[in-house]
Amino acid sequence: MRKFESKVQLIKYEVLREVSRFAMEGTLMDKYDQISRMIEPGPKSRSRCCIYKGRAIVEERVKLAMGGDKENPNIIEVIETACDECPINRFTITEACRGCLAHRCSEACPVDAIFHVGQRAYINQEKCIECGRCRDACQYNAVSDVLRPCRGACPTKAISIDENKKIVIDNEKCIQCGVCIVKCPFGAIMDKSFIVETIDLLKKSKEEKNLHLYAVIAPAVASQFKDVKIGQVITAIKKLGFHDVVEAALGADMVALHETHEFAETIEDKKIMTSSCCPAFVSYIEKCYPEFSKNISTSVSPMIAISRLIKKMDHKAKVIFIGPCTAKKAEVNQADVKGSTEYVLTFEELCAMIDAADIEIEKCEEDVLNNASFFGRIFARSGGLTESIKHIIEEENIQVEFTPVTCDGIAECDKALKIAKVGRLQGNFIEGMACTGGCIGGAASLHHGPKDRKDIDKYGELAIEKGVKDALRVFKVDEIDLHRDFKKL
């Protein structure tokens, strides 16, 4: 029996499972409209004020599980029907208001939204623009600030509220990190799924001998499945119909080697180089600090690197990446890497597919997953890339000064970039991870509580090959294009 953090996560899983089941049966287009009644059977709703609203929200979830709005390039979408339970008014005057004579709150308001009746101040919510100046001006802290969790969590201020008090995502600002999905208490934000397209490819691969569908599994898997062994998860994935399962960590080994050499060759001119493994971090630089776009490593991400290697070795291959990241779903469609990886599944979606196929992971035999080095596997946690580069510099005796700044989460990334902007960064390499803890803290993880970095280190220690070059020695990595051209802003 699976454990879920909340009813939001449970319902999302159930939707993905039923969409997967019908897709596997080939009856999805005929039966998808039945899923809302299966999940909300009635007579009372499991999660909303009435059964009709509960079903309407599930129907929107089903649409997102089937790919969502094809006209919207953003992977993250708002379920408008579900977005109505948060506090409508952000700022209110509390009983702490003393009715002072100074009236600093109304004096600070730029739109005259604050008025006084008797000894109390009040906010005209029709005029309020939520600037917060009244809160800052009040000496009694009498202005209550109830910021919606999604807006408070968004690192780029990409979320706003429209005239109907529904949230709106600004695609030009959004880095698709998915933190808003995790923080919304009502499940009103969800990532689009490629689960149907993946199942279609699995079916096609069973019928066509010239199609081999590979699953690339992120090293963060070591922190996900607590009650079973990784080898059993690999067997379950193969039972779904995948030709083989390959570690994304092998791509991390490739990227670490490429990025180390790039650093040594270019740092004298660049002065500072930033990592390129995390697509949300790269997007954050491009959108918030475009002046540093030229400082981003030209290396592709481990997902793209391993996908290109697989396709170089097997011309019949197509690749599905499986991990905890929503930004990866957007990355596969970027013009400079499009075609390298077909689709991205999250760990949540993988579990839904396995259960839809009635595969019991705990009863599966253990299979072998041993493609990468210790250093490739620890990419899943913050600091892993830095340790890999240090290892390669030492092993190859590269004469270069490497002073890394490891940023755990987007807040630390922002701090490092701000310091670099004024020329005071005490380092020449920024390793940026948008999610706290690294990939193990990804938005599409099976559980979002604190993760033990030791799980990743233990997984890394199980690798037969300890060094990066040892893991890559049988592959012709030099023949693989590991470059990408970042747009210059």
* Claim to verify: residue 372 and residue 415 sit in the same structural domain: yes
Residues 262 and 140 in one domain: no
Query: What distance in Å separates the CA atoms of residue 282 and residue 367, rounded to the nearest whole number?
Result: 35
Q: Are residues 140 and 37 both part of a single domain?
A: no
Number of H helices, E strands in the chain: 20, 15
Last residue of a domain, one of 134, 169, 192: 192
Mark whether 426 and 470 lie in a shared domain: yes
> At a CB cut-off of 8 Å and minimum separation 6, what does 64 contact?
77, 79, 190, 191, 192, 193
- Residue 489 forms part of a structural domain: no
CATH of the domain at 179: 3.30.70.20
Instruction: Give per-residue pLDDT as tens, 427-442.
Output: 999 999 999 999 999 9
pLDDT over threshold 80, residue 487? no
Q: What is the pLDDT of residue 1?
A: 58
Looking at the structure of the chain, the number of domains it has is: 4
Angle, CA of 2, 325 and 381, to the nearest 5°:
90
pLDDT score for 451: 66
Residues 15 and 107 in one domain: no
206 in helix, strand or coil? helix
Residue 488, pLDDT above cutoff 80: no
95 and 165 housed in the same domain = no
The domain containing residue 126 runs over which residues?
Answer: 91-145
Q: Are 104 and 152 in contact (CB under 8 A)?
A: no
pLDDT in tens, 402-427: 999 999 999 999 999 999 999 999 99
The residue out of 137, 172, 192 marking a domain boundary is: 192
Both 440 and 309 in one domain: the answer is yes
CA dihedral over 327, 332, 337, 340, signed as positive or negative? positive
Could you tell me if 121 and 219 lie in one domain? no
275 and 249 both lie in a single domain: yes
**pLDDT value for 474:** 78
| 313 and 386 assigned to the same domain | yes
Residues 43 and 127 reside in one and the same domain: no
Q: How does pLDDT run across 180-238, given as a tens digit for each residue? A: 999 999 999 999 999 999 999 999 999 998 999 999 999 999 888 888 999 999 999 99
What pLDDT is attached to residue 464? 86
What is the dihedral angle through the alpha carbons of 284, 285, 290, 296, rounded to the nearest 10 degrees? Answer: -150
- Interval 26-69: pLDDT, tens: 999 999 999 999 999 999 998 898 999 999 999 999 999 999 99
Average confidence score pLDDT of the chain = 93
Q: Are 395 and 459 part of one and the same domain?
A: yes
Report d(CA 304, CA 447) in Å as an integer: 26
pLDDT, tens digit, for every residue of 95-153?
999 999 999 999 999 999 999 998 899 999 989 988 999 999 999 999 999 999 999 99
Confidence grade of residue 174 (pLDDT, cut at 50, 70, 90)? very high
In sequence order, the 6+-apart residues with CB closer than 8 A to the CB of 207 are: none
Q: Return the percentage of the chain with pLDDT > 70, whole number.
A: 98
484 occurs within a structural domain: no
The confidence score (pLDDT) of residue 418 equals 97
